[in-house]
Structure formats: C-alpha cells, structure tokens
Amino acid sequence: MKAILIEKSDNAQHAAVADVDRARLPAAEAGGEVGVRIDYSTINYKDGLAISGKVPVVRTFPMVPGIDFAGVVEDSTDPAWKPGDRVILNGWGVGEGHWGGLAQHARVRGRWLVRAPANITSRHAMAIGTAGYTAMLCVQALERHGITPGDGEILVTGASGGVGSVAIALLSRLGYTAVASTGKMAEADYLKSLGAADVIDRSTLSAPGKPLAKERWAGAVDSVGSHTLVNVCASTRYRGAVAACGLAAGMDFPATVAPFILRGITLYGIDSVMAPLDVRQSAWARLARDLDLAKLDAITSEIGLGDAVAAANDIVAGRVRGRIVVDVNR
C-alpha cells in the first residue's frame, strides 16, 4: 500500500510517501481488530506537528501519521463491525502511537470507530475531520452551559483555521452571532461568507492584557491558547463560558483568577482525542444535522497523498485556510 511513513535516524525524523507491506499493519492482538480500506484522510494541526517534527507528537518509529480517516470495513474480528460498513476514526492516539490514516489501509480497534452518518460521504467526513468534530464539541459545551443565540456575541479565535472555520459555520447556522478573530484580515470576506457577523484582528487579543477587560462575549471558542485565551476570559461577560481546544500560540495560560471568581465565568477544556463513544456519536449526529455542507465545501481543498508532507509544513506555518482533505488513492 501507499502511505506516508515517518522514520527516525540520528535523532532526526524524515517523512515521505513509501510503498509499505500491508503485513506490517498492527495485528488483531496489537489493536488491529478491524481492517479498513481508507478513502480519505486529512491534515490537522497535530498532523502538521507530527510530520514536520516541530513537536514530538510521534511516540514510536516508524509511524504512519494521520489522526483521522474515513473508509469502508474490509474485515473484522469485532462483532460490532462487518465488511462494507462505512466508518470514521478521529484521534485515539492513531498517527502518534498506532499507525494512522495517511495510507490506503489501516487496522484499528473496533471501539475507536464511529459509524458514518448516512448523509456524510467519506470526503465530507474528512473535510470535517478532528478539527470540525472538535468545533462541534465546543459548540455543544456552550449549549450545555445554557448560552442561547439571544445572549450575545460568541467569539471564535483562530477563525481562518479548521476548527475556527467550522465553528463559525455551525454557530451561524444555529442562529448565534459569531465574531471571528484572525491574524489574516485579508480573509474577512471569507469569514463573513461562513457567517461571521464581524471580524477582528487577533492583535487585539494576543498581547498581555489586564486581569479583567470590558465585558463583551457571551461565550467563546478558542483554538489559540496563551495570552489570547487569557484575554478572551478577561472579556467574557458575567457567567459566560469559554471552550478551549487548541494551543496554536502556546500551552501557557498566564492568567489570574479574576474572571472566574469576580464574573463567575467557566472555562471548558475540550478533548477530542479520548472522548468516549457516546460523546463522539452525539457530535457526529449534530454535524450531520447542523453543518451546512455547501459551506463545508467552500472551506475545503483536496490534495493527493504525495502532497501531504508539504501541506503538513504549511499548516504549522499558518499558511492554510479552512480544511484539507487527502485522497490517499492518488
């Protein structure tokens, strides 16, 4: 099979398309209970980090990266799955410690798979990918908090990226007033086409700020972290909520407790990698119902497997808008 293979020698890693013997895929007893013929994968920010080696995401070598894939079951020792079932995988350490989705075939644990909704093709599933699935988890967190469209503006940081783009499309479809924060103000028209009511420059949030700022946001979806997340919390309205899911600007959180004890805001940590099956199924059911697939198509570009390494470096460098799907068979 064709696959992206990451290898390491002399403390340096190298990623390239390779011909890989399918016999090297994990056996059933090593987590390969279900064999899947992959139709599409994608490039998420974590894939960019893994392939570029910018962060030590990959834990064992050699490794086939790709934290997402969508395809069709070929064989299974798990009674929950049978040949012909259409499936989606997001996370679970795939592409980090277990061979992943940037390949034509995979073998994974049955409990890691989600059945593809009837109206979601494999290509659409990967246009959504972990980024879009995470955006849905963020929106659901704000909903569970009780935030409604009438409560005020919802800020989305890192808005031109995968999580941000899908979050804006979802929030707009659900009737919320979404405000996009981006470092690419040239993308303002693009973000408004997704449903953003306003676009602000990320520089207004990225520098160290005061413990409390003027109240503005009823809620927020943050994929940036660091000072941006601190400033978002500082300007969130009384008893509002922030869903934090990313760290593009860093893992640090140089904040005070002021927004939490003086305004009673809530900070929700959103994990998509190890989320239980019922959480995943709920998110994918909502995506199938609430995401405008025409808007999804507008934010998606497609590449072949041979272009995946370059795309991984581009996403880490901030040169990617929206979502990238990878046709692993070309």
User: Is beta strand 266-269 parallel, antiparallel or unpaired with respect to 300-304?
Assistant: unpaired
CA dihedral sign of residues 59, 128, 278, 246: positive
| Range list for CATH 3.90.180.10 in the chain | 2-116+299-327
The pLDDT score that the predictor gives to residue 74 is: 98
Q: State residue 30's pLDDT score.
A: 85
Domain made up of 2-116+299-327: CATH architecture: Alpha-Beta Complex (3.90)
Q: Where in the chain is the domain with CATH 3.40.50.720?
A: 131-269
Neighbours of 290 (CB within 10 A): 14
- The architecture of the domain spanning 131-269 is 3-Layer(aba) Sandwich (3.40)
pLDDT along the chain (330 residues), means of 10: 95 94 91 96 95 91 97 97 98 96 98 97 98 98 98 97 96 98 95 98 96 98 98 98 95 97 98 97 98 95 98 94 96
Q: Is 87 exposed, middle or buried (0-12, 13-18, 19+ CB in 10 A)?
A: buried
- pLDDT number for residue 262: 98
Residues 6+ apart with CB under 8 A from 15: 4, 5, 6, 7, 51, 53, 65, 309, 312
The pLDDT value given to residue 67: 97
Strand partners, 2: 19
Q: What confidence score (pLDDT) does residue 54 get? A: 87
Q: What is the pLDDT of residue 55?
A: 86
Other CB atoms closer than 10 Å to residue 291's CB: what's the count? 21
